[in-house]
Structure 1
Amino acid sequence: MFGRKSNAADPRPQSAVSSGVGIAGLVGLASWILIARQYGMDGPYSALAACAACGLPMVIWSLLSDKVHLRASTGIDWKNPNPLKETFDISVVKLAGLWATWGMIACVYCIGRWYWTGQYQFSMEMMETIAPWLLLVSVPYVLMMDRYFIEPRDGAWHLGQFLIGAGDKKRGGEYDREQIFHHLRAWAVKGFFLAFMISIVPGGFGDLIRLDIAELANNPAAIAFWLIIAMFVVDVQFATVGYLLTMKPLDAHIRTANPYLGGWVAALLCYPPFAMMYPGGPLHYEVDIAKWDYWLQGHETLLWIWGGILVALTAIYAWATVAFGLRFSNLTHRGILTHGPYAWTKHPAYVAKNTYWWLSAMPFLTVSGNYVDMIRNAALLAAVSGIYYWRAKTEEKHLLSDPVYKEYAEWMDRNAPIPRAINWAKRKIGWWTPEQGREHELGPELEPAE
């Protein structure tokens, strides 16, 4: 019903990331987990070492196999470096803009009280440790790379020009305020989400290292629980590496950060301190509920099936992050993915995550039997899912400015199982007429769905 006779005449657009990158990262991460379990290294620094074990193989694969540093999208010409004397002044101004940006992020960290409590304290400790070294290394890095950039005057340079009073380009000056806004948005994303990712790296990793496998014997719920933790460890490790390695030589830089306020609001509502679905928040949907294993206890076959489904959903969620390789990041465009789960749906992580929540929390059941709580919990989780739908739409709005994503989205409507199923359902209920959707959904060379 949703398939097509042949894809030969309509190949999937090429992905910006190869499958080998993610596989290399998985091998490195799994190797470190085995070493850490062998020697009982379950602390936060071992968790950070796991990021290195995950990221280093991906960097090596990207450079040696995919040769990402040679792509035109990096904006780098390695064969024709400019003399240092020609780029030195540019680099000085850029460093001024870069350091000012880091100073603003540091001020936000200082002002935000949540950064100095709970799990965030580990992030701040790491930031304080690395800050002097980052300042030191940035000087030779910027001086060297500016010699190879085709256009070294990036957003940091424009911010530096603003700081030295060079004047707005629209008024005959030097700096372009749009470049500055792009630069600040990109670093706001990195500053906000990197602190969060580092804060949650130790938790799941430590639990996984301390796991006593003997305790899982013949307990389907416990096996599912620990496999789910393992999948989340994979997700967190890959995501953290993605935020750390936002670099042009790896072609993993931020092309654009989402310029739409709605996109930022939708994303930030899902993360502390703005998250609305956490305990105490207006969308907290876990009042008087018990998890899936409570309701299915005594039914071993159902426990195995239900647990297997939850593990599969979490694996898809982790796979969606692994597919990014070095490029995971919220609210940014760092290259268009078309492989792995992104060949099935444009938002595999959101689909998997929200389905998991419904099946795991079962908000429509309460231990008290209170129908009001059942209705309220289900309605609030529906609102949470609605926020993720909103996120998906704002992300698409942002990415559609890139012709590559537009081509990918149109290919997905013609070929991918989930978009085709949705479009088929829309036609059946009259939400999508052939006149409105034929060109976008099927394409001129395709036969209609049966």
Structure 2
Amino acid sequence: MDTRLEAIREQVLARNPGEKEFHQAVVEVFESLGPVLDKHPEFVDAAVLQRLCEPERQIIFRVPWVDDAGRVQINRGFRVEFNSALGPYKGGLRFHPSVYLGIVKFLGFEQIFKNALTGMPIGGGKGGSDFDPRGKSDGEVMRFCQSFMTELYRHIGEYTDVPAGDIGVGGREIGYLFGQYKRITNRYESGVLTGKGIGWGGSLVRPEATGFGTVLFAQEMLKTRGTSFDGQRVVVSGSGNVATFAIAKAQQFGAKVVACSDSSGYVVDENGIDVPLLRQIKEKERGRLKEYAVRRGASVSYIEGGSVWDVDTAVALPCATQNELNTEAATRLVKNGLVAVAEGANMPSTSGAVAVFQEAGILFGPGKAANAGGVATSALEMQQNASRDAWSFEHTEQRLTQIMVGIHDRCAETAETYGSPGNYVVGANIAGFVKVADAMLAQGLI
């Protein structure tokens, strides 16, 4: 790492103790930025990096609610409004027991660069709670969401901060959150949340966008090697919204997706994952992946526990959660013929795994670039809300495709310009950083 950045890194780590995911995200970006500071000393003079690593606002609040047995439960809510140089804060809400300030800050920091790469006028933010919606009734989820929004509403707005969904926050949760916002404010402010239902301000393609976008980015990477998804063996981690639509799009491009996972284990289906059945079980029934194997029959293997990355693949699409793909798994995948990795989740590969991929010459698309399709389509949803319009599926998917191809090309060209051809990590970090840093300089010391 550049010595100018080492001192800033140490300062950031000291000011944010115990937030290991945030530390990891900061270090990963800093490792790319030495050449930028050589070309732009004004960024050093104006302390852009120090300001970029300090959120503009951090909100932590209590969320009391009553469960179905009449017992009072208490959770903690978060919203980190990280950077608004390019537009209103934009980023999802995550409801999961693992959520704490460090997770939210890592996600918000990544969101700054991801949003910049889309070319859309949106800043970076993130939020959530340590509430676990899994196993809760609709009534319990509704009461929690209403309590959560009763505090959050005062901090958000279509020109201020626009949350969306993330892990644990889907259409059901967004509906309850939006309803409570409308109830408190007495405004039908459609643009305050994205990921809404199609019938009340949502956008077609938004559910598919993150998974579709990941595959679109991977397809562009593969083209640089004269190949494509057609005929490729693919493994996807996760089986939620992102993973499901990544599987669907990869299969549309001619790939055979043979494995996916959930927190309990993974399935191997050599005939190719049956997406309608997977969606039926995971989305409509809120069931476990084990049920997929039961219904598909003896031709499908279900492995309790373990790692889906034990399955050989040419293209890996990690779409579950942070740091799920480690150095050992990466080494095994490379040894068994891996060609490309595109991250559908946020920072799913450990820093050691990324190093293994890069040293082996594997095509590697980092999450801030490869999974930007979700937030890009959220910005398209905001456009539709602002104009009181609704676009067709075909038009919206075409816009998404244009955006993802543009992100790929921007990353590739930036990496080439800064002396790291083919390094999408360097390209994504520098392209996103320079766009935000220029805006920060233009707006003065704020």
Same fold per superposition (TM over 0.5): no
Is the radius of gyration larger for structure 1 or structure 2? Answer: 1
- The structure carrying a bigger helix percent of its residues is 1
Q: Which has the higher contact order (CA 8 A, sep 6+)?
A: 1
TM superposition score normalised by structure 1: 0.25
